[in-house]
A and B are shown apart, each in its own frame.
Chain A
Amino acid sequence: AQSVTQLDSHVSVSEGTPVLLRCNYSSSYSPSLFWYVQHPNKGLQLLLKYTSAATLVKGINGFEAEFKKSETSFHLTKPSAHMSDAAEYFCVVSLSDTGRRALTFGSGTRLQVQP
């Protein structure tokens, strides 16, 4: 079975300070991992994905995540938060072992950015 755990339901940072959103996964196989962002009343947008290539993955809008197999983690970071980063973020693992490659979503982390 595969699962993903987002350790913080809410994270609040000041504009211009670093962002860290934590994610741990459980998988019997080499996972594919993703981070998606959901802004209010908008669809999910892919930030970045890891599919067994480079362990440090760079995404859009200055976000990046590092795949650490020893820690089973895939934390999302950004050096400097912007007001427009306020949204819900989902860490996602792909159920590649089933062949369907359906996605399992974490519970989400709401990022607040204070001025």
Chain B
Amino acid sequence: GAVVSQHPSRVICKSGTSVKIECRSLDFQATTMFWYRQFPKKSLMLMATSNEGSKATYEQGVEKDKFLINHASLTLSTLTVTSAHPEDSSFYICSARPTEAQETQYFGPGTRLLVL
């Protein structure tokens, strides 16, 4: 149980295009999901907290108009990187916190984005 999936696992796109990444909790409901970014050989940086049915909370320095987050249901959150640039290339990881277990987060396998 407690599986979180991400799709796609890797994506290559051209500069200026938009890319959508999906994060799904497969066997539990998650009122809250989180989006992280991981640079090569670096730790995870929290980008935003996604709450079902409300606006996401972005961390300082993260552009909300560039990284659009939608949490339309209790099992799905999406991150859209708009007008992607090469510096957006990174490993994006989501996590989902079960509604019944507030201290636990389950992580997706990550999405590797390469912007050419």
A→B interface (CB under 8 Å): 32, 36, 42-46, 49, 51, 90, 94, 100-108
Contacts and interface: CB of A to CB of B under 8 A. Distances in A.
Q: Describe B's contact surface by its main secondary structure.
A: strand
A43 B2 CA distance: 13
B71 interface: no
Given A43-B107, A49-B103, A107 B97 contact: no
B90 interface: no
B43 A106 contact: yes
Contacts, number: 47
A46 B4 CA distance: 13
A30 to B, nearest CB: 12
A104 B95 CA distance: 13
B32 A94 contact: no
Given A36-B107, A105-B36, A106-B43, 13 more contacts: A43-B107, A43-B110, A46-B104, A94-B103, A100-B57, A101-B97, A102-B49, A103-B44, A103-B95, A104-B46, A105-B43, A105-B44, A107-B43
